[in-house]
């Protein structure tokens, strides 16, 4: 079978671990050159080293506009084009509304929402000049129905879904597709520390009766990034084992 992303240049933010790392790995296997845009030096460099010569680490703070500009300037100077952006970087700072302070709220919104906006805007400028490109945003199933103790996280991911739909409307005529993926319960570093009884309780809510793997989400990103999805834009794909049903 032909590889899906031959000669494509991609940026994956937050690619040092979890879903981002799995996505970067899948993109490389499918023939892409991938820039690992990661804030953490150790995980970013380790990921690039593991994936080989077609993966390059670039330290990036997606919430900082100057850092984002430097990232996209670097990609254009090295490769001369940008085919795919995956806005995967995200953080949690869970708390009930009564205890949630403004710093926690701002921190999550700055990375998850502002970071997606800054990277999306930078990518769109490049892709509009090219006349093509794909932007993929990380949402979450909790954006559809809320989740206890996640005012900031849910707000950020609901905002990502809204921006995805706006960008699809605005950029379609420029040859740019914009979609989002809403993962459900996925085994990542964020979930590894959960108590076993909570893990089992959450698993019981999934019709497929298992947690997802990062590769399940990476496969969906790969499809949406490829020409196989050339007539798909403005959609939010739930990768959740049916939990929103």
Which active-site residues does the annotation give?
153
Token representation of residue 241: 């084992």
The continuous run of DSSP H or E covering 9 comes out as strand 9-13
Sheet holding 236-239, edge to edge: 55-59, 33-38, 9-13, 84-87, 133-138, 176-183, 236-239
| CA dist., res. 173 & res. 164, Å (int) | 15
Q: Is 80 exposed, middle or buried (0-12, 13-18, 19+ CB in 10 A)?
A: exposed
Quote the longest CA-to-CA distance of the chain.
Answer: 54
d(CA 37, CA 111): 13
Q: How far, in Å, CA of 236 to CA of 52, rounded?
A: 31
């Amino acid at each position: 079978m032909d590889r899906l992303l031959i000669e494509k240049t991609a940026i994956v933010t937050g690619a040092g671990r979890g879903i981002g790392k799995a996505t970067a790995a899948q993109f490389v296997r499918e023939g892409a050159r991938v820039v690992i845009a990661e804030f953490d030096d150790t995980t970013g460099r380790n990921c690039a080293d593991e994936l080989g010569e077609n993966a390059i680490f670039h330290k990036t703070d997606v919430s900082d506009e100057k850092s984002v500009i430097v990232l996209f300037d670097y990609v254009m100077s090295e490769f001369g084009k940008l085919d795919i952006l995956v806005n995967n970087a995200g953080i949690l700072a869970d708390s009930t509304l009564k205890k949630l302070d403004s710093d926690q709220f701002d921190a999550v919104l700055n990375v998850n929402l502002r970071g997606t906006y800054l990277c999306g805007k930078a990518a769109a400028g490049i892709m509009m000049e090219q006349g093509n490109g794909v932007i993929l945003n990380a949402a979450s199933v909790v954006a559809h129905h809320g989740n206890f103790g996640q005012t900031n996280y849910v707000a950020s991911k609901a905002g990502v879904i809204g921006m995805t739909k706006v960008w699809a409307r605005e950029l379609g005529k420029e040859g740019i597709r914009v979609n989002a993926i809403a993962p459900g319960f996925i085994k990542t570093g964020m979930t590894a520390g959960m108590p076993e009884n909570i893990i089992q309780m959450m698993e019981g809510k999934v019709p497929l009766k298992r947690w997802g793997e990062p590769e399940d989400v990476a496969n969906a990103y790969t499809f949406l990034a490829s020409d196989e999805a050339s007539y798909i834009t403005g959609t939010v794909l739930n990768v959740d084992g049916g939990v929103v049903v």
